[in-house]
Structure 1
């Protein structure tokens, strides 16, 4: 159980380090975009393949996310990634960093998508 907790802590630190790397100007723009996409997909409640589909539903979590992380790590300069890991580790020692602006944007996006869905369903029913 302890090794599972260590793995989860390391994954959390690595994910936050990727987030930090996605904001670092020393990282090529394409690597920053891909890193931001991988981190966003990792935290998104929407999956490419829904988890309700047996076996296939977990393939994106087990294959696509690690593959995306691996590709991004190959694109980021090692010294930048080392610095980002140190910053992420320091942030984890201080407590979980909170980004209220990102949370507000995600909340707004979900509300907007919900309203758009209701509008779409309403237009289908009225047709």
Structure 2
């Protein structure tokens, strides 16, 4: 189980690299969009399968994300990858912001509430 958790942490670091790939102006637009989607999912506190579920909780972090990360890296120019990895290492060394995490959670909850409200409106018509 410890090995699985370590793999998940390493993938989160790679996802940060993918985020910086998406923000680099030298990255092709299709790769930017793909990288943003993968980074958003990887860095989001909400997973398809919650991490507290034994073994299954880490499957999306250990299988789905690496496939997406590998695809982005394969499609990205080497210089962009090098710059993005350096930038990700610098950011990973900084302290974590609990305030930013709270903002992300609030935004996800508002989106879920808006979707539920819209869905209930669709059912009522």
What TM bracket, shorter-length normalisation?
A: 0.5 to 0.7
Q: Which residue of 1 aligns with 2:35?
A: 35
Rg larger in 1 or in 2?
1
What is the rounded CA distance, in whole Å, between the counterparts of 1:91 and 1:65 in structure 2?
20
Equivalent positions of 1:1-127 (< 5 A) are 7=7, 9-44=9-44, 45-47=46-48, 60-96=60-96, 100=100, 104=103, 107-118=106-117, 120-121=119-120, 124=123
| SS of equivalent residue, structure 1 residue 94 | coil
CA contact (8 A) 1:13 1:85 kept: no
TM norm structure 1: 0.67
Mark the runs of 5 or more structure 2 residues left unpaired by the alignment. Answer: none
Mark the runs of 5 or more structure 1 residues left unpaired by the alignment. Answer: none
RMSD in angstroms over aligned alpha carbons? 4.0
What is the rounded CA distance, in whole Å, between the counterparts of 1:60 and 1:3 in structure 2?
15
What is the rounded CA distance, in whole Å, between the counterparts of 1:25 and 1:93 in structure 2?
24
**C-alpha deviation, 1:26, in angstroms:** 0.2
Equivalent residue pairs, number = 122
| SS of equivalent residue, structure 1 residue 95 | coil
